[in-house]
């Protein structure tokens, strides 16, 4: 049994809150938004925000791989790399999430940032994402997810991350990780920095900072908050995570757990976890930035149709995010940083769902419906 002291869950929560504040402030300042990235491409052909997202992926991937080389993080301790590849769940969940974020004016992280800026639409979206996600974790939607989507899967002989697959082809684990990170991370970096206009301050700040914050999340939960042998259970433990695994930034299930904590506040077994604290931190960080920059303002729905679109979008995001095991951040950056195949499927599906929905909305607008 280890004699090392166990870090308090409250310490993990406070550190996650601090990381969340930085995330929210950076995302607010740089307009870091996946929906915005897709919308800019579809509507005006501007790729700068997509390059910012790609840069965040690359930085998170390279930094996370460095943690692996330093034996600080093991992707097997996360939810992203099991041998069972639920490809249909990743595909359907991603498509629904992408559709939902287009209807609700942003993904989970953007919802928190907008909420911090005084947007009352985001408050409604937050609540309905949380309710839908909770129903997808433990309620009615979970029955559909488990019954119809999750059973369709590919059982691999090894973990589903790209380095593990390369090890099966004869490379050593170190060679495989280096090769995968160099090729995929290098390609993302090349794409992100290929155009001069993409090398502006906000693109670089948003991409580098968000990527490093994701790696910092892994460092916090997989190393600082990791106990190899808990004195009570004699099993490995990850302090203050809802999944019981190593976690970094994700903004779907944590919204459900935030609502759960509020509803069961008097239950002393409920604690503020990494995901909950990080989500609150994003709101606070965005609020601090918008107030300091004079951009804070109260905004609400223009009409009932606007309200309806946001509610439907939030429900789709809650179900899609849980089904796909993550959102534009949870899979698109955090999952991708582990080089998990499922993360790449989900990310591609989110982009496709969002682009299709935006084009459909534009077509309907042109028809005057």
Over residues 211-243, the pLDDT tens digits come to 999 999 999 999 999 998 777 666 789 999 999
Task: Write the pLDDT tens digit of every residue in 106-123.
Answer: 999 999 999 999 999 999
Q: What is the 3-state secondary structure (H, E, C) of the chain?
A: CCCCCCCCHHHHHHHHHHHHHHHHHHHHHHCCCHHHHHHHHHHHCCCHHHHHHHHHHHHHHHHHHHHHHCCCCCHHHCCCCCCEECHHHHHHHHHHHHHHHHHCCCCHHHHHHHHHCCEHHHHHHHHHHHHHHHHHHHCHHHHHHHHHHCCCCEECCCCCEHHHHHHCCCCCHHHHHHHHHHHHHHHHHHHHHCCHHHHCHHHHHHHHHHHHHHHHHHHHHHHHCEECCCCCCCCCEECCCCCCCCCCCCCCHHHHHHHHHHHCCCCCCCCCCHHHHHHHHHHHHHHHHHHHCCCCCCECCCCHHHHHHHHHHHHHHHHHHHHCCCCCCHHHHHHHHCCEHHHHHHHHHHHHHHHHHHHHHHHHHHCCC
**Within 10 A of 17 (CB to CB), how many other CB atoms are there?**
20
Task: Write the pLDDT tens digit of every residue in 13-28.
Answer: 999 999 999 999 999 9
Confidence of residue 369 (pLDDT cuts 50, 70, 90): low
pLDDT for position 6: 83
User: What is the C-alpha to C-alpha distance for residues 21 and 28, in angstroms, rounded to an integer?
Assistant: 11
Structure-token match 């459900």, residue found: 256
Task: Write the pLDDT tens digit of every residue in 165-212.
Answer: 999 899 999 999 999 999 999 999 999 999 887 778 899 999 999 999
pTM: 0.95
Mean pLDDT of the chain: 95
User: What is the C-alpha to C-alpha distance for residues 284 and 220, in angstroms, rounded to an integer?
Assistant: 20
User: What is the C-alpha to C-alpha distance for residues 169 and 164, in angstroms, rounded to an integer?
Assistant: 9
pLDDT for position 351: 98
pLDDT for position 1: 41
Task: Write the pLDDT tens digit of every residue in 41-68.
Answer: 999 999 999 999 999 999 999 999 999 9
């Amino acid at each position: 049994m280890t004699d090392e002291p166990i870090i308090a869950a409250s310490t993990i929560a406070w550190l996650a809150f601090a990381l969340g504040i930085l995330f929210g402030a950076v995302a607010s300042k740089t307009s870091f938004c996946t929906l915005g990235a897709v919308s800019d491409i579809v509507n005006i052909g501007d790729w700068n925000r997509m390059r910012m997202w790609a840069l965040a992926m690359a930085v998170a991937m390279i930094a996370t791989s460095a943690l692996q080389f330093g034996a600080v993080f093991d992707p097997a301790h996360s939810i992203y790399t099991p041998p069972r590849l639920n490809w249909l769940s990743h595909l359907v969940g991603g498509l629904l999430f992408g559709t939902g974020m287009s209807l609700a004016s942003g993904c989970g992280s953007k919802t928190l940032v907008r909420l911090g800026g005084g947007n009352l639409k985001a408050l409604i979206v937050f609540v309905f994402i949380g309710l839908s996600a909770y129903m997808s974790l433990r309620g009615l939607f979970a029955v559909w997810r488990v019954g119809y989507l999750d059973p369709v899967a590919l059982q691999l002989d090894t973990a589903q991350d790209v380095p593990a697959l390369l090890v099966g082809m004869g490379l050593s684990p170190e060679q495989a990780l280096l090769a995968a990170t160099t090729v995929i991370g290098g390609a993302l970096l090349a794409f992100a920095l290929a155009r001069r206009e993409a090398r502006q301050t906000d693109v670089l700040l948003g991409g580098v900072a968000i990527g490093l914050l994701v790696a910092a999340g892994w460092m916090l939960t997989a190393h600082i908050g990791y106990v190899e042998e808990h004195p009570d259970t004699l099993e490995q433990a990850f302090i203050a995570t809802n999944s019981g695994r190593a976690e970094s930034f994700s903004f779907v299930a944590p919204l459900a757990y935030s609502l759960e904590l509020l509803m069961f506040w008097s239950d002393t077994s409920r604690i503020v976890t990494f995901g909950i604290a990080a989500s609150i931190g994003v709101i606070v960080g965005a609020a601090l930035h918008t107030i300091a920059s004079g951009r804070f303002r109260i905004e609400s729905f223009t009409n009932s149709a606007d309200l309806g679109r946001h509610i439907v979008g939030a429900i789709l995001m809650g179900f899609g995010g849980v089904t796909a095991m993550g959102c534009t951040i949870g899979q698109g950056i955090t999952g991708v940083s582990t080089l998990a195949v499922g993360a790449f499927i989900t990310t591609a599906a989110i982009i496709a769902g969002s682009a299709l929905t935006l084009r459909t909305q534009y077509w309907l607008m042109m028809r005057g419906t």
